[in-house]
Copies of this chain bind each other. A is one copy, B any other.
């Protein structure tokens, strides 16, 4: 970490054949652990640990520091800009979506939420009060970024373990505020809209998961289930029971339910699969002012215990070697 040479503004490009958007962020190649086979020896102090605040960009927000100065120890949760951002702060230029071959600045925000001062304790191991604090931070950053000019989608992502793409060990979550609605969200919105005449497809999935033995866990406001067409072994989705398109509108009670069910499922996975690497992310309706009443916000939790190969990349289909019914059963039993 430490000092940086002049920033190169990342660029968003759209492939003229596939239609896939890629962010060209060459600065991120300097990030520790960026390359697969690189052996990362972090001899330097952890930039996310208390006392090392000067190693990160100036903080955006922190909780728990009683009267202390910004960027000093004493915090319980801390939000900072990503040192190697995939997006460069500022509003997207007008008309950029049409000029697909023009090499457009990737405008947006890329933040990091440091879960706690504790370098070792993962989300699965946090105390209830801490997880509620973290979920509040998720919602707060979501709300604040969603209303900024040019932002159309906010995505919150937690990568746990090297094999799931985490480059730093200290538990943290990334927040991306994007100037476009990314393809996966677009597909979900289109697909659920098409099926929404019979009611919300995700509400229907929740009901089906009960009758088909795919429920993993429940509490008053949330439920967790293995999705019918799970892409990965032990893939689990978590959703508020109340139909709600936007994550930013999750209310009191629901936030606590979320803070209870996520670590509970993570503990089950950890016991069953011996602390597997995983990706966890929140999908909510875009913040572009359009109507997405048919959509239902949710959390997707994907353990990365199998190796992706050419088939997935080449087809966009997945080959799953564990049935969701069996995965849900095993998870329920161990919990």
Q: Which residues of A contact B (CB under 8 A)?
A: 13-29, 31, 33-37, 86, 101, 155, 157-159, 162-166, 174, 176, 178, 182-185, 187-188, 190-192, 195, 201-202, 204-205, 208, 227-231, 277, 279-281, 283, 296, 300, 302, 304-311, 313-323, 326
Q: Are A17 and B155 in contact (CB under 8 A)?
A: no
Name A162's contact: one of B176, B191, B307 (CB within 8 Å): B307
Q: Which residue of B lies closest to A318 (CB)?
A: B22
CB distance from A28 to the nearest CB of B (A): 5
Say whether, besides A16-B201, A162-B307, A163-B36, A183 and B316 are in contact (CB < 8 Å). yes
- Given known A-B contacts A22-B231, A159-B309, A17 and B191 have beta carbons under 8 A apart: yes
A123–B109 alpha-carbon span in the complex (Å): 43
User: Quick check: A16 and B165 within 8 Å, CB to CB?
Assistant: no
For A23, the chain B residues whose CB sits under 8 A away are 317-320
Q: How far is the CA of A164 from the CA of B36 in the complex (A)?
A: 11
Within the complex, which residue of B28, B201, B208 is in contact with A321, where a contact is CB–CB below 8 Å?
A: B28
Complex Cα distance A320/B188, Å?
Answer: 24
The contact of A185 among B26, B184, B204, B315, by CB within 8 Å, is B315
Task: Please pick, from B28, B184, B305, B307, the residue contacting A163 in the complex, using a CB distance under 8 A.
Answer: B307
Nearest-neighbour CB distance to chain B for A190, whole angstroms, equals 8
A184–B316 contact, CB under 8 A?
Answer: yes
- Measured between beta carbons, the chain B residues less than 8 angstroms from A28 are 319, 321
Q: How far is the CB of A115 from chain B (nearest CB, A)?
A: 15
Do A22 and B188 touch across chains, with their CB atoms under 8 A apart? no
B280 engages A35 (CB within 8 Å): no
- A20 CA to B229 CA, complexed, in Å: 8
Contacts of A19 in B (CB 8 A): 187-188, 190-191
Interface-central residue, A166, A195, A279, A326, by most chain B CB under 10 Å:
A279
Interchain CB contact under 8 A, B184 and A310: no
Specify which chain B residues have a CB less than 8 angstroms from the CB of A163 in the assembled complex.
36-37, 307
Q: Which of B25, B86, B101, B317 contacts A183 (CB 8 A)?
A: B317
Say yes or no: A18 contacts B187, CB within 8 Å: yes
Asked whether, in the complex, the Cβ of B205 is within 8 Å of the Cβ of A36, the reply is no
**C-alpha gap A231/B29 in the complex (Å):** 14
| Bound-state Cα–Cα, A101 to B198, Å | 14
Closest 4 CB pairs of A and B: A165-B309, A279-B310, A182-B315, A183-B316
Tell whether, in the assembled complex, residue B22 and residue A320 are in contact, meaning their CB atoms are under 8 Å apart: yes
Q: Which residue of B lies closest to A325 (CB)?
A: B24
Give the Cβ gap from A128 to chain B, nearest Cβ, in Å.
Answer: 24
- Contact status of A25 and B319, CB under 8 A, knowing A18-B191, A227-B15, A310-B281: yes
In the complex with contacts A208-B101, A229-B20, A229-B21, A164-B316 CB distance below 8 A: no
Report yes or no: B29 in contact with A182, Cβ–Cβ below 8 A: no
| Interface pair B183/A17, CB less than 8 Å apart | no
Please state if A310 and B159 are interface contacts (CB–CB under 8 Å).
Answer: yes
* Known contacts A157-B311, A204-B16, A314-B184, A321 near B25 by CB under 8 Å: yes
Q: Which residues of chain B have C-beta atoms less than 8 A from A310's C-beta?
A: 157-159, 164-165, 174, 279-281, 302
Contact A311 B176 (CB under 8 A): yes
Q: What is the distance, in angstroms, from A325's C-beta to the closest C-beta of chain B?
A: 10
